[in-house]
Amino acid sequence: MRGLDGKVALCTGAGLEGGLGHGILERLGKAGCRLIVSDLEAVMTHSGAGNIKENAVVQDLALKGFETIGIACDVTNEQSVQAAVQATLAEWGRLDIVVNNAAIGDIIKPLPELSLSEWQRVMNVNLTGAFLLTREAAQVMTAGSSVINIASQAAKTGFRQMAPYVSSKHGMIGLTRTSAIDLAPLGIRVNAVCPNHVTTTMGKAQSEYFSSLRGMEPEAYRAQIADRVPLGRVGKPEDTASAVAFLASEDAAFITGEALNVSGGEETH
Ligand SMILES: NC(=O)c1ccc[n+]([C@@H]2O[C@H](COP(=O)([O-])OP(=O)(O)OC[C@H]3O[C@@H](n4cnc5c(N)ncnc54)[C@H](O)[C@@H]3O)[C@@H](O)[C@H]2O)c1
């Protein structure tokens, strides 16, 4: 991928091993980016402003030879988001790639049973969080920079008992399209990636819930998912990571406002 060497890339919700954020940062590291692992303070195990060394993802990426720091950030908190961008500038003086990856997907119940606070909690993390960081990053990013929103297959298709998650992810595509237009005059591109099931911490919890609804073992349920994917398997973090690296690179210089499926052919619109 052209144009990624030396760029500074920050990914939210990237503090859990084996998560999409971990895979995305590793791929960007291989392309020569300097990396910022960001997540909730509890996940980052805070050990000093702007440089959290204990987090397993920070350690893994640093061991692999990538220039990596950790920055705690709660994407629902405006001050925390502002502080994360400032800490990035203090460390490396620039911010080129923002990946809005943080999300929650654990509120799963029929719509009539949803409380307002459950709805708002999901919206705050999954959608408002991406808005806050995009707005903050746009103040400091220069032409050639890029924002990538990790949406979902649930950004294009409805799933039962997932109203807040599905709505937040559909909203993320709206945010992608509108911020792509508003930030284009600054030379900042904004795109989304839409993966289907990946067996991360979140993916595992969701597949456990839906398999138990069907009276199945989670492995059997995931095999059923793989069966309906034309390419015959579930997704891996590396699949989403490759799409992110492409969209962030100069090879995608004329692509903005796009929502790219990474689903082995399962999602077609
Ligand atoms: N796993 C899947 O099947 C799948 C499919 C499609 C899309 N996605 C999306 O991929 C992204 C990454 O999810 P994942 O599957 O790697 O799950 P994950 O649970 O590993 O990652 C989500 C991360 O978000 C963090 N987070 C939660 N609230 C936060 C907040 N307020 N501020 C900052 N961070 C916060 C969590 O601590 C966690 O590290 C999410 O946007 C998810 O919706 C996942």
Under the phi-then-psi rule, with left for phi > 0, alpha for psi from -120 to 50, and beta for the rest, what region is 215?
Answer: left
For residues 252 and 191, the answer to whether their CB atoms sit within 8 Å is: yes
| Distance between CA atoms of residues 239 and 260, nearest Å | 12
Q: How many A from CA of 6 to the centre of ligand 1?
A: 26
Atom of ligand 1 nearest to the CA of 206: 3
Q: Residue 46: what pLDDT?
A: 52
**Ligand 1 centre and the CA of 104: distance in Å?**
6
- Between β-strands 146-150 and 97-100, what pairing exists: parallel, antiparallel or unpaired? parallel
Pocket probe mutation, ligand 1, options 11, 24, 39, 172, max atoms within 8 Å of Cβ = 39
DSSP 154: G
- As for ligand 1, residues whose beta carbon falls within 6 Å of it are 12-13, 15-16, 19-21, 39-40, 43, 73-76, 101-105, 125, 129, 150, 152, 195, 197-198, 200-203
Please state, in angstroms and rounded to a whole number, the distance separating the CA atoms of residues 49 and 193: 31
Residue (of 134, 102, 81) closest to 15 by Cα position:
102
Instruction: Count the alpha carbons within 13 Å of 101 in the hemisphere toward its beta carbon.
Output: 30
Spacing, Cα 93 to ligand 1 middle (Å): 27
Closest ligand 1 atom number to CA of residue 18: 20
Q: How many CB atoms lie within 10 A of CB 110?
A: 9
Q: Atom 31, ligand 1: which residue's CA is nearest?
A: 74
Report residue 53's pLDDT band, with 50, 70 and 90 as the boundaries.
Answer: low
> Domains in the chain, start-ordered, CATH in brackets?
8-196+235-262 (3.40.50.720), 198-234 (no CATH)
Whether the predicted pLDDT of 178 surpasses 70: yes
Name the helix (H) or strand (E) containing 70. Answer: strand 68-72
For ligand 1, atom 38, which residue shows the shortest CA distance? 13
Is residue 152 classed exposed, middle or buried when 0-12, 13-18 and 19+ CB atoms within 10 A define those classes? buried
Q: Measure 185 CA to ligand 1 centroid, in angstroms.
A: 30
**60, 136, 7, 99: CA torsion to nearest 10:** 50
Distance, CA of 225 to CA of 221 (rounded, Å): 6
For the chain, the helix, strand and coil percentages under 3-state DSSP, each to the nearest 5: 50, 15, 40
Average pLDDT, stretch 153-160?
97
**Ligand 1: distance of its center to the CA of 37 in Å?**
13
Q: Whose CA is nearest to atom 37 of ligand 1?
A: 13
- For residue 76, the ligand 1 atom closest to its alpha carbon is 31
> What is the spatial distance between Cα 32 and Cα 119, in angstroms, rounded to a whole number?
39
Kindly report, residue by residue over 101-123, the tens digit of the pLDDT.
999 999 999 999 999 999 999 99
Cα–Cα distance measured from residue 140 to residue 89, given in angstroms and rounded to the nearest whole number:
9
Q: Which two tokens stand for residue 213?
A: 């609804």
Read off φ and ψ for residue 69, nearest 5 degrees. -130, 165
The arithmetic mean of pLDDT across residues 226-233, rounded, is 96
Per-residue pLDDT tens digits for 27-38 = 999 999 999 999
Q: Hey, whose CA ends up nearest to atom 1 of ligand 1?
A: 203
* pLDDT confidence of residue 54: 78
Any idea which residue has 């960001």 for tokens? Answer: 38
Provide the 3-class DSSP secondary structure of residue 38: strand
How far is it, in rounded angstroms, from Cα 189 to Cα 97? Answer: 10
What is the CA(14)–ligand 1 centre distance, in A? Answer: 8
Q: Which residues are catalytic?
A: 165
Q: How far apart are CA 48 and CA 50, in angstroms?
A: 6
For residue 48, the model assigns a pLDDT of 46
So what's the pLDDT on residue 84?
98
